Chains A and B, each alone.
Chain A
């Protein structure tokens, strides 16, 4: 059974701090790892990672994948209160017939002003 474990489960920091969120996984026939941000409503897509060592970056957010050690990190620099959300990590398997995504339970990030 595919498994995605995120840590920490919750994190409270002050505005301006840098945070690192972790995601480890076990999946048969790994295809990609994805990060989503969930504020009060629907999860929204952040990054998709398929190759080890290649950093994906979007503004203050960046992410990298290590396929040997089976983990990914999501970094947020100079955090703002608007970054407060649940960050979800998900893995996708390859091979005929998709199974959708297997999600971790998320990291609940709270940015205090």
Chain B
């Protein structure tokens, strides 16, 4: 298996633009997580899905952020409009179950908003 695949790897955009990050989880994993990593705050959980259904989005910073999982093999995280404080590395992770603790992370999407 190729592991969790994220795209784009790097994105540089201007404030106000829409940003869409994409994730393909490992086949057979029922849980998908979106995390954001910054120097100041470390890794923060934004939202997670179970069987394509959003379970907990309490970590989503505000209404500018939205996430979808239309099927078991694809998820998107969208920021509209983007702001400089959204600059971070966004990780997608998947697992067989949320209760094993072991997550498999993608390589991240580094977002820079100018």
User: Which residues of A are in contact with B by a Cβ distance under 8 Å?
Assistant: 31-32, 34, 41-45, 48, 88, 90, 92, 94, 97-106
Number of A-B contacts (CB under 8 A): 63
Task: Given A100-B48, A101-B45, A104-B42, check contact A92 B33 (CB 8 Å).
Answer: no
Contact A102 B45 (CB under 8 A): yes
Q: How far is the CB of B40 from chain A (nearest CB, A)?
A: 8
Measured CA separation A13–B73 after assembly (Å): 43
Interface centre among B31, B35, B55, B99 (most CB of A within 10 A): B99
Chain-A contact segment, one of B64-72, B75-83, B101-109 = B101-109
Contact of A42 among B31, B55, B105 (CB under 8 A): B105
Q: How far is the CB of B53 from chain A (nearest CB, A)?
A: 12
Contact B107 A41 (CB under 8 A): yes
| Interface status of B56 (Cβ within 8 A of chain A) | yes
Contact A100 B33 (CB under 8 A): yes
User: Which residues of B are in contact with A by a Cβ distance under 8 Å?
Assistant: 4, 31, 33, 35, 41-45, 48, 55-56, 91, 97-108
Q: How far is the CB of A38 from chain B (nearest CB, A)?
A: 9
Contact B42 A32 (CB under 8 A): no
Contact A45 B103 (CB under 8 A): yes
Contact A100 B98 (CB under 8 A): yes
Measured CA separation A106–B56 after assembly (Å): 24
Contact A100 B42 (CB under 8 A): no
Contact B102 A34 (CB under 8 A): yes
Contact B33 A42 (CB under 8 A): no
Interface centre among B4, B43, B56, B103 (most CB of A within 10 A): B43
Contact B102 A48 (CB under 8 A): yes
Q: How far is the CB of A83 from chain B (nearest CB, A)?
A: 19
Contact A31 B101 (CB under 8 A): yes
CB-CB under 8 A from B107, the residues of chain A are: 41-42
Q: How far is the CB of B94 from chain A (nearest CB, A)?
A: 11
Contact of B43 among A45, A88, A98, A99 (CB under 8 A): A88
CB-CB under 8 A from A90, the residues of chain B are: 43, 101
Contact B101 A92 (CB under 8 A): yes
CB-CB under 8 A from B45, the residues of chain A are: 99-102
Task: Given A42-B106, A43-B105, check contact A98 B98 (CB 8 Å).
Answer: yes
